[in-house]
Amino acid sequence: MKEVYYCCAIILCLFLPYVCDAYFTSDASQSCFCKLEGQIDDCSCNVDTVDHFNNMKIFPRLQSLLSADYFRFYKVNLKRDCPFWTDDSRCAIRYCNVQACQEEDIPPGLKQYNPSMNSIFGNQDMSLRVRQFIDGNEDCEELEADLNEELGYLNTTISAAAYEEFEKWQAHDALENFCEVDEDKDAQYVDLLLNPERYTGYKGKSAHRIWNSIYKENCFRPENHYDAFIQSNQLNRMCLEKRVFYRVISGMHASINIHLCSKYLLSDKESLISPGGKWGANLEEFKRRFSPLTTDNEGPHWLRNLYFLYLLELRALAKAAPYLTHEEFFTGSDKDDRDVRDAVRDLLSVIKSFPNHFDESTMFTGGAQATKLKDEFRQHFRNISVIMDCVGCEKCKLWGKLQVQGIGAALKILFSGKFESLSPPGLQPGQKAKSQFQLQRGEIVTLFNAFGRLSNSINELEMFRKLLRE
């Protein structure tokens, strides 16, 4: 009898670690979530803490804020050719196409107002008069004369040599960006609300080539590691900075996959019954992408990296809050702009209250070697931003570029070193916090929208938890 007891005990000890994984075969199981708990890697915060903070406080506020005109219209160039290979796998499914933005739908302030004019002239009154011109409340000839006077004054006091220096400064600042920003002549406004991120049917070799190029050619890797994905137990073979880079990319990948599973194309691709497509949660697809049984036990770790990226972007918003609190968020509508400013301040105050922010001060310390590593970090991420032009699905390219650029803006805030000396709070209304440079509108739009995508992913995880319990 004792022999039987000891035998059972040994078998139980051997197989107990796999009990959780075996539960994935049951619809009543918690599947991927049985290991998604406890402290988030390389952070001092728990999964449960982020779940409650996001779902109760952040997600509802972001849903409302991102529907505002300032954030819903994103300027992007979707016509750039892939610089690395010839993509012959363009998505032919109609759901891959981005709906064109009608000119009359774009707020007049986004089309005509140049927010840099205020910093060039250093004149609040002139900025106000330009806005009045846009609204049709100012005499055109009078304003033009005033503008010519201002421009004439500047042209006579700033030498050609000084202008050359300005161009050098601008080029230097561009090099310090962590990603490419679409500000060329082919960039057009896209209404994000008309083009939601969801599964379009784009997959296969073209999609796999994108992710393989990102992981294999641009992510830092442990020595003698050649697989696309780095096993979680191998990450500690790299320094903190290289681990952070991988967790950022893995977290973005996990977030995108959650969006595709929660907004999955359930109807036939060419259905005549549902020409607009039928979209909804696909639980089996979610388990396929994140179950330990189908991901060599890595799915739960990928989900943890989503939480890591969330905390990193949360910290970036908190760090830039003194600047963002005094941003005008100008679209040409006084009421809408005022509402957005109030909503942003409310959101930032909630973000500031979070008790366990990501600590970027522990990274890139150590002299010349740290500086070299930061340059490599930046260049690798810039490469990834360019790879987004190789995506064969137009809608996937849209959301890929937006999320990469949003992460790039967050990395710029955290690691460029130019947001360390913002003016203290308490500025007068209309005044901006001063830093060594300012974020462009496109960077602000992508920063908030990319964080909104992460917030949405964490909220969708709760939906999948409920489906698994049912």
pLDDT at 34: 57
pLDDT at 408: 95
440, containing H or E segment: none
pLDDT, one tens digit per residue, over 61-117 is 999 999 999 999 999 999 888 888 876 566 667 778 888 788 888 998 887 644 443
Taking 60 as the threshold, does the pLDDT of residue 426 lie above it?
no
Q: Which of 96-105, 165-174, 304-313 has the highest mean pLDDT?
A: 304-313
224, containing H or E segment: none
Task: Reply yes or no on whether 32 is catalytic.
Answer: no
User: Band of the pLDDT at 269, cuts 50, 70, 90?
Assistant: low
Structure tokens at 316: 């970036």
What percent of the chain is modeled with pLDDT above 70?
Answer: 71
pLDDT at 185: 73
pLDDT at 275: 57
Q: Which of 49-63, 410-424, 431-445 has the highest mean pLDDT?
A: 49-63
User: Band of the pLDDT at 427, cuts 50, 70, 90?
Assistant: low
247 is in an annotated binding site: no
pLDDT at 27: 41
- Which segments of 222-272 does DSSP mark as H helices, in order? 240-262
198 is in an annotated binding site: yes
pLDDT, one tens digit per residue, over 357-412 is 999 999 998 889 999 999 999 999 999 999 999 998 899 999 999 999 999 999 99
250 is in an annotated binding site: yes
Lowest mean pLDDT among 6-15, 94-103, 221-230, 337-346: 6-15
Decide if 403 contacts 313 (C-beta within 8 A): no
Between 143 and 381, whose confidence is greater? Answer: 381
Lowest mean pLDDT among 85-94, 227-236, 280-289: 85-94
Structure tokens at 399: 């959301």
Decide if 281 contacts 262 (C-beta within 8 A): yes
Q: What is the mean pLDDT of the chain?
A: 79
* DSSP state, residue 46: B
446 is in an annotated binding site: no
- Which segments of 388-437 does DSSP mark as H helices, in order? 394-415
Average pLDDT for residues 15-34, to the nearest whole number? 44
Residues 289 and 146: their CA atoms lie apart, in Å, by: 61
Taking 70 as the threshold, does the pLDDT of residue 3 lie above it?
no
User: Band of the pLDDT at 352, cuts 50, 70, 90?
Assistant: very high
441 is in an annotated binding site: no
CA 419 remoteness from chain centre: 19
Between 126 and 440, whose confidence is greater? Answer: 440
Three-state SS sequence of 95-160? HHCCCCCCHHHCCHHHHHCCCHHHHHHCCHHHHHHHHHHHCCCCCHHHHHHHHHHHHHHHHHHCCH
Average pLDDT for residues 16-34, to the nearest whole number? 45
Residues 240 and 394: their CA atoms lie apart, in Å, by: 35
Pairing of strands 73-76, 188-191: antiparallel
pLDDT, one tens digit per residue, over 247-259 is 999 999 999 999 9
Decide if 453 contacts 460 (C-beta within 8 A): no
User: Band of the pLDDT at 46, cuts 50, 70, 90?
Assistant: confident
Taking 60 as the threshold, does the pLDDT of residue 186 lie above it?
yes
With 0-12 / 13-18 / 19 or more C-beta atoms within 10 angstroms meaning exposed / middle / buried, residue 179 is: buried
289 is in an annotated binding site: yes
Catalytic site residue from 32, 45, 179, 396: 396
Map tokens 């979610």 to a residue: 286
Taking 60 as the threshold, does the pLDDT of residue 38 lie above it?
yes
Task: Reply yes or no on whether 20 is catalytic.
Answer: no
Catalytic site residue from 32, 179, 219, 393: 393
Taking 70 as the threshold, does the pLDDT of residue 215 lie above it?
yes
